[in-house]
Amino acid sequence: MGEAVGIGVRANETAVPVMPCVSVDETLEFYQALGFAVIHEQRRPYVYLAFEWSGFQLHFGAAPKGFDPTTEDGGGCLVVVDDVAAYHAEFTRAMRAAYGKVLAKGRPRITRFRPGASRFTLVDPAGNGIIFIQRDEPKELEYGGAKSLTGLAKAVDNARIFAEFKNDDRTALRVLTTALRKHGDTAPAPEVAAALATLIELATALEETGQVAEWRERLAALDLTDAEQREVEAGLRGAADLDLWRTTTGPDPDPDPAS
């Protein structure tokens, strides 16, 4: 905590981000669907919206000329909380009530949340990212995988970092595909299972399912105990919907991975 910098300055400020809004109606619809209260709505002479949920506020102004929401890099906000899982559960519940499903793809959406994860992101209609972060989240991330791990287990951890902290499922998929090719024949069966299950989840979320049937067959052929299977499933969100041990080659079910 920094010290006061002048007479009358005290460390009790409240900073409120003002993010770009492309469509007033779409922004209002999305945040109200999640349970945010509208505390200010102004369309003229300029756009200004303000929402409140629990103990924090989000404010919005008109997007600048030429703003492209598809890049999803226009604005953002960090919301630091004590129990990030509870927030994800509340927003997914609200989405199901409002839309009949969890918005896991496109824009707006909510990113997937695995048990034990420390953050997730709400992406709104303008591409702003509202990132909810566990207060005691580790301060440093080890891209390349935790130093305490080796081989395929290290690659699984690295893929987790890309998926959860960078929202980069495609890089996570590439990292794991390469590692499985390199280490898959020598790694212990539980590590191979974790890699295959994560690949299935990532490919399904990306709708790039060309290798999913092959990965399912390989996963089902592994000699795993019931406890090891449960451990693999515990590390993924929506494992029941993914039906990890299924070996049929028919169409994949919609995993609704953000639920």
The 10s digit of each residue's pLDDT in 207-219 is 888 998 899 899 9
Are the C-beta atoms of 118 and 137 separated by less than 8 Å? Answer: yes
What pLDDT is stored for residue 59 in this prediction? 98
Give 90's pLDDT tier (boundaries 50, 70, 90): very high
**Mean pLDDT, rounded, for 126-147:** 90
What pLDDT is stored for residue 114 in this prediction? 78
Give 252's pLDDT tier (boundaries 50, 70, 90): very low
Burial group, residue 106, by CB count within 10 angstroms (0-12, 13-18, 19+): exposed
What pLDDT is stored for residue 23 in this prediction? 97
What tokens appear for 82 in the block?
Answer: 């004590």
**Mean pLDDT, rounded, for 189-218:** 89
Give 253's pLDDT tier (boundaries 50, 70, 90): very low
**Mean pLDDT, rounded, for 19-26:** 97
pLDDT at 234 over 80: no
What pLDDT is stored for residue 250 in this prediction? 45
Beta pairing, strands 76-81 & 48-53: unpaired
Helix %, strand %, coil % of the chain (to 5): 40, 15, 45
Give 113's pLDDT tier (boundaries 50, 70, 90): confident
Distance of CA 107 to the CA centre of its chain: 13
pTM for the model stands at: 0.75
- Burial code (b: 16+ CB inside 10 Å, e: under 16) for 113-149 equals bbeebbbbbbbbbbbbbbbbbbeeeeeebeeebeeee
In the chain, what are the domain boundaries? 18-64+72-134, 151-242
Question: Which CATH superfamily hosts domain 18-64+72-134?
Answer: 2,3-Dihydroxybiphenyl 1,2-Dioxygenase, domain 1 (3.10.180.10)
Give 175's pLDDT tier (boundaries 50, 70, 90): very high
How long is the chain?
A: 259
- 3-class secondary-structure state, position 156: helix
User: What is the SS3 assignment for 41-104?
Assistant: EECCCCCEEEEEECCEEEEEEECCCCCCHHHCCCCEEEEEECCHHHHHHHHHHHHHHHHCCCCC
* Residue 34 half-sphere exposure toward CB, CA atoms < 13 A: 27
**Mean pLDDT, rounded, for 215-224:** 91
What pLDDT is stored for residue 41 in this prediction? 98
pLDDT at 2 over 70: no
- Burial code (b: 16+ CB inside 10 Å, e: under 16) for 217-243 equals ebbeebebeeebbeebbebbbbbebbe
C-alpha 51/C-alpha 21 separation (Å) is 13
- 3-class secondary-structure state, position 145: coil
Peptide bond between residue 253 and the one before it cis (omega within 30 degrees of 0): no
Q: How far is the CA of 184 from the CAs of 157, 172, 178, 190, 201, in angstroms?
A: 15, 16, 10, 11, 18
Beta pairing, strands 48-53 & 37-42: antiparallel
C-alpha 101/C-alpha 95 separation (Å) is 6
